[in-house]
């Protein structure tokens, strides 16, 4: 698993990368009340705003961590956005992307690096 400075986690699974937010990010957001996901088939570029999360505290955008195509989204989040608070690094993943280039993965932090980053 890799982590971004925007508090996203990336889990490689074959030729896909599953993306969600970290438990730390979910804790900072507070109670999540709404999640807007991209459409499968959407082509994205790294740093595109592709997910909107609204909590009782704030609204936040999730950025595409890689160039590629969104191939699947977690439809369960539409009906139950609170899953993000319950299992941010598991069942509450946001989308799966088929990256056009995996090399940016090398720039992201491992778990130890992320723990140092959040202090």
Which domain covers residue 77, as residue numbers?
2-101
- To the nearest 5 percent, what fractions of the chain are helix, strand and coil? 25, 40, 40
In a domain? residue 25: yes
Question: For residue 30, what is the domain's CATH number?
Answer: 2.40.50.100
Cβ atoms of 62 and 5 within 8 Å: the answer is no
In a domain? residue 113: no
pLDDT tens column, 88-118: 999 999 999 999 999 999 999 999 999 999 9
In a domain? residue 18: yes
How many domains does the chain contain in total?
1
In a domain? residue 95: yes
In a domain? residue 36: yes
In a domain? residue 118: no
pLDDT tens column, 36-62: 999 999 999 999 999 999 999 889 999
In a domain? residue 112: no
State residue 61's pLDDT score: 94
- Integer Cα distance of 119 and 74 in angstroms: 30
Q: How many alpha carbons fall within 13 Å on the CB side of residue 26?
A: 22
State residue 14's pLDDT score: 92
In a domain? residue 106: no
Cβ atoms of 73 and 95 within 8 Å: the answer is yes
The pTM assigned to this predicted structure is 0.94
């Amino acid at each position: 698993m890799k982590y971004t400075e925007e508090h996203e986690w990336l889990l490689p699974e074959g030729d896909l990368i599953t993306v969600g937010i970290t438990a730390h990010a979910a804790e900072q957001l507070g109670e999540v009340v709404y999640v807007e996901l991209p459409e499968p088939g959407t082509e994205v570029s790294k740093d595109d705003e592709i997910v909107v999360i609204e909590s009782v505290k704030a609204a936040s955008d999730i950025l595409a961590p890689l160039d590629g195509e969104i191939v699947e989204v977690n439809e369960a989040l539409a009906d139950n956005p609170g899953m993000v608070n319950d299992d941010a690094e598991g069942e509450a993943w946001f989308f799966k992307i088929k990256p056009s280039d995996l090399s940016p993965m090398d720039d992201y932090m491992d778990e130890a690096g992320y723990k140092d980053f959040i202090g």
